[in-house]
Amino acid sequence: MEDEIVARVMNAGRLRIAGIEAERAVRAQPGSPMALALLCGARAADYFAEAVATEKRAELFKPCDEALRLDPHNVIALGVRAVWLLDGVDHGQSDDREGDLRRANEDLTTLLAISPNDPYARALKVYLLRLEGRPEEAIAEGERNIALNPGFVQTYFWLCAAYTDARQPEKAIDCVDKAIRLSPHDPSLYGLLMTRAGALETLGRKAEALDWVRRSLALSPASPIALRHEIVLLEILGRDDEAREAYRRYSALPGPQVRTIAELRACAAVPSCAVSERQIEALRKAGMPEQ
């Protein structure tokens, strides 16, 4: 747990410094597409794990949109906007899932036309394919990118999850372990820990899965995906009082969330929302209402 706390403190410091420097750059060069793109990336990084209201998301997008108006081929703005759109879909916060996937694909197509072998663009392609429900293609794309760029850790974040989607949880765990060795204090470590938890859950190792969910929550306490998993695992393990307390924390989260069983079923096409009837019953028992 100490490692997770160190990572959280380090990551928070990095994000604050990045935001300060980006704001300074925009003040010095208000019409600079690069400064605007960096500001967009720094602002967005503060919210990657959390639910963000539609109005707030639009506000965070503005520097990227302005950067791309000034320079339609700004690779940083294209990448940041694409990952924001994909994260919105993955977290069940998109008001237009198909439209956001289409827009993210357009940004990625432009990015790959500019730089066909860019490892980040290729990693985002893995993410897109996974969210489109094409895990085998996501795996093929991810493995190609790792073969070309074995030290580029971001690819692992989406490749590891694709292994679980494709019912290959052992590969997912190996993938996560390798990614953590490559970048033990990565700003997105909470996501890797959740991927490991999901793979363990698939293998029926519920108590171990809960431990990794809580490690993830130590890094990102407001992550709605991690909180939902904690509730489910606690109920399945028969720890009803703890599950109800976890649900109270989840229901108190600000911003757009999956608040009801009906909403959860409605976003079932998204990998992070996909749940079994047993998991739905666990959430219902912990207090989630039907409507």
pLDDT beyond 70 at 22: no
Helix (H) or strand (E) holding 103: helix 97-114
pLDDT beyond 50 at 259: yes
Q: How far apart are CA 131 and CA 108, in angstroms?
A: 14
pLDDT beyond 80 at 150: yes
Specify whether the CB–CB gap between 189 and 219 falls below 8 A.
yes
- Residue 49: what pLDDT? 47
Per-residue pLDDT, averaged over 150-175, amounts to: 96
Q: How far apart are CA 256 and CA 232, in angstroms?
A: 20
- Residue 215: what pLDDT? 96
pLDDT beyond 90 at 271: no
Helix (H) or strand (E) holding 172: helix 169-182
50's CB contacts (< 8 A; 6+ apart) are 220, 222, 223, 224, 255
Per-residue pLDDT, averaged over 33-42, amounts to: 79
Span 85-125, pLDDT tens digits: 898 888 777 778 899 999 999 999 999 999 998 999 999 99
Question: Comparing C-alpha atoms, which of 133, 171, 126 is closest to residue 274?
Answer: 133
Question: For residue 276, with 0-12 CB atoms within 10 Å meaning exposed, 13-18 middle and 19 or more buried, which class applies?
Answer: exposed
Span 164-188, pLDDT tens digits: 999 999 999 999 999 999 999 888 8
Q: What is the pTM of this model?
A: 0.82
- Separation in Å, CA 274 to CA 59, 127, 198, 268: 29, 16, 11, 4
Q: How far apart are CA 197 and CA 164, in angstroms?
A: 10
44's CB contacts (< 8 A; 6+ apart) are 60, 80, 83, 84
Average pLDDT, the chain: 85
Span 224-239, pLDDT tens digits: 889 999 999 999 999 9
Q: How far apart are CA 40 and CA 81, in angstroms?
A: 8
Question: Comparing C-alpha atoms, which of 257, 285, 289 is closest to residue 273?
Answer: 257
Q: How far apart are CA 126 and CA 149, in angstroms?
A: 14
Q: Which residue type, as a one-letter code, is found at position 28?
A: A
Specify whether the CB–CB gap between 100 and 88 falls below 8 A.
yes
Question: What DSSP state is assigned to residue 259?
Answer: -
- Residue 9: what pLDDT? 33
156-160, 237-241, 260-264: lowest mean pLDDT where?
260-264
Per-residue pLDDT, averaged over 64-91, amounts to: 89
- Residue 2: what pLDDT? 40
Question: For residue 185, with 0-12 CB atoms within 10 Å meaning exposed, 13-18 middle and 19 or more buried, which class applies?
Answer: middle
pLDDT beyond 60 at 51: no
- Residue 35: what pLDDT? 81
- Residue 34: what pLDDT? 80
Q: Which domains does the chain have, with CATH numbers?
A: 2-286 (1.25.40.10)
Question: What DSSP state is assigned to residue 270?
Answer: S
